[in-house]
Amino acid sequence: MLSGQMPIFVLKEGTQREQGKNAQKNNIEAAKTIADAIRTTLGPKGMDKMLVDSIGDIIVSNDGATILKEMDVDHPTAKMIVEVAKSQDSAVGDGTTSAVILAGELLKQAETLLDQGVHSTVITNGFRMAVNEAKKHLDQIALEAKDDKTLKRISMTALSGKNTSLSSDFLSDLVVKAVNAVADERNGKVVVDTANIKVDKKNGGSVTDTQFINGLVIDKEKVHPKMPSPVKDAKIALIDSALEIKKTEIEAKVQITDPSKIQDFLAQESDTFKNMVEKIKKSGANVVLCQKGIDDIAQHYLAKEGIYAVRRVKKSDMEKLAKATGAKIVTNLDDLTSAALGKAEKVEEKKISDDRMTFITGCANPKAVSILIRGGTDHVVSEIERSLNDAIRVVALTKEDGKYLPGGGAIEAELAMKVRNFANSVGGREQLAIEAFAKALEIIPRTLAENAGMDPINTLIQLKADHEKGKVTYGIDFTENKVGDMAKAGVFDPLRVKKHALESAAEVSTMILRIDDVIASKKSGPSPGEGGGMGGGMPGGMPQY
């Protein structure tokens, strides 16, 4: 610096900043902490976590995505790891715990290489090469899912370890039925839209009271006690306009000077509703499901005509009802014809727990169906709902792709061996990173063994020996707590879940490794005109490491 020249301050005094190796170490530590927090939940013998919020509400779950979503995470890098779980859950519905544990282990292995002087760019290049090699082998190892028996085993694998494991056989049958019902073939490809499977829950009863409905359940009761229930051979009208007299948009006042005219006014109002019901009756409908309100007078006339009616049905349910019954949603009653009606064998009101619900069953070829979950308490039914949603997603993926892999850590053990062999052919410093990737893959079978109370070192040695002999499907058999054939045990995972978990873990770990500077950014506060501005706002605080 020239004499007399003033120093230049780029960052505000007191701005929090972590640089170089210190930043990398803190980031890796944060990621490892998140991974360690959910490690014990992996596998059929994994433990549950109880999450308690500030007002004392609790969630008991061992679903990785749920735990991470509910955890109060402050560290920026830890938030990146939580995003991996969210991405995995939204994309494929399962494998969240595996993806996070693998990401944590990749960073742990990378930390060892960084301490040995290997540059983070070399490590990230090695990881990318390793994940591409692993994906190639995944496609080669994948088996074809040809029948419902395989789909059921995949569902049971997804449900194992959850609170539903005792009823997994029963629940898996329902899941496969539901997925098969909504599966559609488009341009020679099977497509399963899981949004068409409506999962409802009501506490009371036992898990085995959970039922599959070949149609839909609506959490609404009939609007008038004198309406018939059940209605057999139902002709269903779906109306998305109100069966009420609309209020005027501008303020209006009706002034009646002659008392005899009051009756005329009321009669005219009554005739309006009578005409509405006449139009519904003329179409041949004996069930009306309305998205908006139904006036009391209209309810009376509908009941008089023996028409079953439900009001304020959710828009999403209306769309599902159209797919389930084949009805068209009409806005104007003049458009309601017999061609616009849907069909079902039976529509009835049933009392479930303390609530009354409408069951629309026996639809001929429904493209939307329901599963009604039952269980002893709210916590039980909520956990079953989370588990069933996972199972539905994995069965749907397998139905679409027609490919699955052996589970129980078998695939990770096989990939670790293949990637290690690939590392020997690469050479250079990248070889060290590829070997580290292979070692990180072994965290999945190792954790599964630990959570089952097995000796992790002996189990890994046995697993490696079996895979060296070409036993690709050998993993950890939890029924006998030993290494066994996953194909015989029927422990399967969808190909897409494993592929996405590998990609997500590799992507987030390489992103974290490339960060060498963590700087507090400006707070997003009020606009300059509101007293904030560039000069007035304090720099945003970063969490203490």
Which residue shows structure tokens 């993993």? Answer: 475
**Please, what is the Cα angle at 357 between 351 and 362, to 5 degrees?**
105
Q: Please answer whether residues 217 and 366 qualify as being in contact, where contact means their C-beta atoms are separated by less than 8 angstroms.
A: no
- Answer whether the bond into residue 230 is a cis peptide, omega within 30°: yes
For 100, phi then psi, to 5°, come to -70, -45
96 catalytically annotated:
yes
Whether 63 is a known active-site residue: answer yes
Which one of 66, 77, 97, 358 is the catalytic residue? 97
Give the tokens for residue 365: 């070829």
What residues contact residue 373 under an 8 Å CB cut-off, 6+ apart?
A: 199, 200, 201, 202, 210, 381, 384, 385, 388
Q: Are 97 and 41 in contact (CB under 8 A)?
A: yes
Which of 63, 89, 295, 466 is an active site residue? 63
Helices (H), 348-409: 378-401
Question: In the numeric block, which tokens belong to residue 416?
Answer: 């670790």
Q: What is the DSSP string of 426-457?
A: H-TTHHHHHHHHHHHHTHHHHHHHHHTT--HH
Provide, for the chain, the percentages of residues in helix, strand and coil under a 3-state DSSP scheme, each rounded to the nearest 5: 50, 20, 30
> Exactly one of 390, 466, 473, 493 is catalytic; which is it?
390
SS3 call for 183? strand
Distance CA 77, CA 518 (A): 10
In sign, the C-alpha dihedral spanning 220, 224, 225, 227 is: negative
Selecting among 41, 66, 96, 210, the annotated active-site residue is 96
Known catalytic residue at 97? yes
List active site positions. Answer: 63, 96-97, 390
